[in-house]
Amino acid sequence: MSVQQIPTGKIIDLEEVIAIELTNSKGSYVKIFNYGTIINKFVVKNASGEMQDIVLGFDSFDQYLDPAYLENYPYFGAIIGRYANRIKNGKFTIGEETYQLAQNAGTDTLHGGVVGFDRKVWDIVDISEGPQSSVTFQYESVDGEENFPGNLIVDLTFELTENDELILSYEAETDKATAINLTHHSYFNLSPKVGNVKDHKQQIFASNYLEQDDNYSVTGKLIPVAGTAWDFTKSKAIGENWNEEEGYDQTFVLDKIYGDLSLASKTIEDESGLVLSVYTTEPVAHLYTAKYLAVKNGKGGQDYDSYGAFCVETQHHPNAVNIPEFPTTILNPDDLYTQTTIYKISLNR
């Protein structure tokens, strides 16, 4: 097991951008920037014995800052915070105080506002080379940032195991009641040729999904997946029942005990033989098949187009801060926010 620090030569907000590579004895490795804790590479051995990168991204860090990329920004591989997905009308109330956020997705707030955790340089506070390589990043979001209340300190640890598990462990504390819902936004493609993910086989362990309005904001209603295109309780090709013009951009309520670490999702790609299993303590998983993806000059000069990847975003229910029936996304000063999500790679043959 090893950890390597690689300076990028880039300074943002007076902070140096550094890449961290975690490598296990199999040669699998993950490369993470301290800017937005972006997972730039996740390289594993496929069934043919070839080393294969399973996440979308860029060859150069500077490309993550390119105005053309940011104009149709897909949040490649980054942490999402303070609040994942949408907050309806960009507004929520804690106690007697109402907070109005930036409305950066129509009338709603998306992924933490205009400049979220994904575009901040995080401190590297701990590095370990054994027995499993890991790195811990920390970011302090000050009171009033993006108009969220409270000084919030977030620690995010990435650990790569000998079993090709990438473990993400989150902790957060605040000095004032605030809304928090963190996730990570990696775009996966398990095919050696990348391309459309419609033939990837997908399973999600959820009997219900969340109704959304026309702006993809959750309404509070649960809908059974049985008899619908959203039924992934048994493994099937992603494109088997989908609307080809929409794909999937839906939150699934997992069949699990709240807070327990359990299997949420399993994705299989036949040519590579790779299996991505996602375990989480979170109550929901959001499946996004990248309808709006339109990125030029990705890794190896490849363009990334609609449906060229899938995301499994583990989190609390979107817009839960406005829906009392959902598990709370309010963090109080005496509480500790915790979350664990594991991306485990294995072979299907």
Tell me the C-alpha distance between 291 and 242, whole Å. Answer: 12
- Cα(174)–Cα(333) distance, rounded to whole angstroms? 5
Question: Where do the H-state alpha helices sit in the chain?
Answer: 67-71
Q: Tell me, what CATH number does 105's domain have?
A: 2.70.98.10
Q: From CA 333, how far away is CA 349, in angstroms rounded? A: 48
pLDDT per position as a tens digit, 214-271: 999 999 999 999 999 999 999 999 999 999 999 999 999 999 998 999 999 999 999 9
- Among 21, 145, 165, 313, the one annotated catalytic: 313
> Into how many domains does the chain fold?
1
| Domain that includes residue 319, residue range | 2-347
- Whole-number pLDDT of residue 131: 82
How many percent of the chain have pLDDT more than 90?
A: 98
Q: How many CA atoms lie within 13 A of 191 on its CB side?
A: 13
Query: For 79-94, what is each residue's pLDDT tens digit?
Result: 999 999 999 999 999 9
- In order of 84, 115, 139, 157, the CA distances from 171 in angstroms are 15, 21, 11, 9
| pLDDT score of 307 | 98
SS (H, E, C) 60-88: CHHHHHCHHHHHCCCCCCEEECCECCEEH
For CA atoms 224, 228, 185, 167, the dihedral sign is positive
pLDDT of residue 140: 98
Q: Is 185 a residue of the active site?
A: yes
Q: Read out DSSP for 150-189?
A: S-EEEEEEEEE-TTSEEEEEEEEEESS-EE-B-EEE--B-
C-beta separation of 180 from 111 below 8 A? no
User: Whole-angstrom Cα distance, residue 238 to residue 322?
Assistant: 31
Between 299 and 130, residue with greater pLDDT: 299
Across 51-67, average pLDDT: 98
Q: Which of 185, 200, 316, 317 is catalytic?
A: 185
Mean pLDDT within 171-199: 97
CA distance 245 to 290: 11
Q: What is the mean pLDDT of residues 287-301?
A: 97
209: helix, strand or coil: strand
Task: Give the Cα separation of 54 and 107 in Å (integer).
Answer: 34
Q: How do residues 110-147 score in pLDDT, each as one tens digit?
A: 999 999 999 999 999 999 987 889 999 999 999 999 99
The answer to whether 97 is a known catalytic residue is no
Report the pLDDT averaged over residues 178-204.
97
Each residue's pLDDT tens digit, 2-35: 999 999 999 999 999 999 999 999 999 999 999 9
Which of 216, 215, 214, 242 lies closest to 228, judged by CA?
242
